[in-house]
Structure 1
Amino acid sequence: MKRISFEFFPPKTDQGKEKLLATQQKLLVKNPAFFSCTFGAGGSTRDNTRDTVNKLREQHGDTAPHLSCIGQSREEILELVNGYKEAGVQRIVALRGDLPSGMGYAQSEIKYADELVQLIRQETGDHFTLEVAAYPEMHPQARSFEDDIAHFKRKVDAGANSGLTQYFYNADAYGYYMDALQKIDCDAPVYPGIMPILNVANLLRFSNTCGADVPRWLQSKLNDIKDDDAAVKAFGEEVVTRLCERLLAMGAPGLHFYTMNQAGPNLRILDNLGM
């Protein structure tokens, strides 16, 4: 049985919060292992993430907050971790996180995700299942692919259970990444992150920011049809479905969907896959 999970971002308005709960309700038909909710740079959505997770958990008990260490003190991190434990949260997505504009690493007591994982384990033992980030196309700030692979292993050695990847559109990148992990005796499961294609400008802008590669052939085709929303969505659905088929055939243990707080595109891909 392949694991399915869905990621949301915390809405800013009451209307957005109501819509998100309705979206979650629609996605529940796929029997996901868990939902997750993102955490803004430097803790900028700290309270909103916590409140959103609490509401989402009313419909699905295994809803995981993202927690990043950059921009937060050790005490602030532990306050959140212990609060989640007391509330009955059982899973955390533990991340380094992005630096807010104008902030330097020196301002953060915990600077890397492996240190965050270690801190959570020291404080709470095995209470939480800990998911961490993985980068088949290499983290944009990594010194080398080998360094990036070694850093993922450090997170696992510190106590992480599994990885969720940055989204990508090249299945071979995932295969090569998993081979590289195997060579350094890291056998933690790594779940591909899947990003449905909905808007060409947004996809290209965001991909440029986060270091995700959009292959030249795919960019070319998307640019040809970018003004036809229906064509973009239909083509994007086909491309992402084929990507998922390849990943599952390669042995991926499941799929983690970056939903953009929408149900339809993710449901159609899963229906195409017969999942």
Structure 2
Amino acid sequence: MTRAKKTPPPPPPPSSLVADTAESEKFPIEVRGLVSCFGDNVVHDGLDLKVERGEVLGVVGGSGTGKSVLLNSIIGLKVPDGGQVRLFGGDMRTASRRRWSSVERRWGVLFQQGALFSNLTVRENVSAPLYEHTRLPKREVEEIADLKIAMVGLPARAATLKPAELSGGMRKRAGLARALAMDPELLFLDEPTAGLDPIGAAAFDDLIKDLSDSLDLTVFMITHDLDSLYAITDRVAVLADKKVVTVAPVRELERSEHPWIQKYFLGPRGRAAASPADSQAQART
């Protein structure tokens, strides 16, 4: 009686594939050697950045350092002039339209001015990504939209209002609700507290932090708001000299010797923003 031959085990995956999978799990956003130009003006020249899964990353830099250009390059609104943008382990430079659509479902974006459709209600604005990317029936789409509207702290009555009928803070929250419509893994925020009064800005910071923790979001946040940097970021990436010159927790940046970083974090406003955090730390000890 002959024995049945054992099926040999499948060969192990190539080490490069294992490495890429591990990288994509740890770094959902990876920018390698990014070059960004507008005519003869070079904004980025060999910019590198990795964003860790689950962190709130603040992005700062002086005027003209290309913070929004970096965001637009990551989400495909600007084609890089060189280098590589990798999202969830995939090179977006060579991605198919189907791949782009798949990745777009995994992020949400809150632009600086909200970018809401002025002729649509808040509910209709929040519903727009669901109609674009799913085939859910209208009733279910509206139920999800109302859930997101409540999630960002807007009253139920806001669902039927148009952007012109909202305050600045409410428009920010409506834009955030739309960014969260598809239950994203990545959340991109462009100056989320710009134009808000200190109380409104602090409340928005708390909202972002709560959502990040409860939804396990990875947050990429461009901001000039020093209070936000101290309150909710895990790390801060500093753009200068056409590159990311450093990425570190905000307290470590206070010890940097880079001239722009010193002026930004150790100037009067930087010291004022740091003081409340110091007081809170002392109160806990």
Quickly name the TM-score band, shorter chain normalised: 0.3 to 0.5
Q: Please give the TM-score of this superposition, normalised by the length of structure 2.
A: 0.36
**Structure with higher helix content:** 1
Considering Cα pairs closer than 8 Å and 6+ residues apart, tell me whether 1 or 2 has the greater RCO. Answer: 2
- The structure whose residues are more often strand, as a share, is 2
State the TM-score, normalized to the length of structure 1. Answer: 0.37
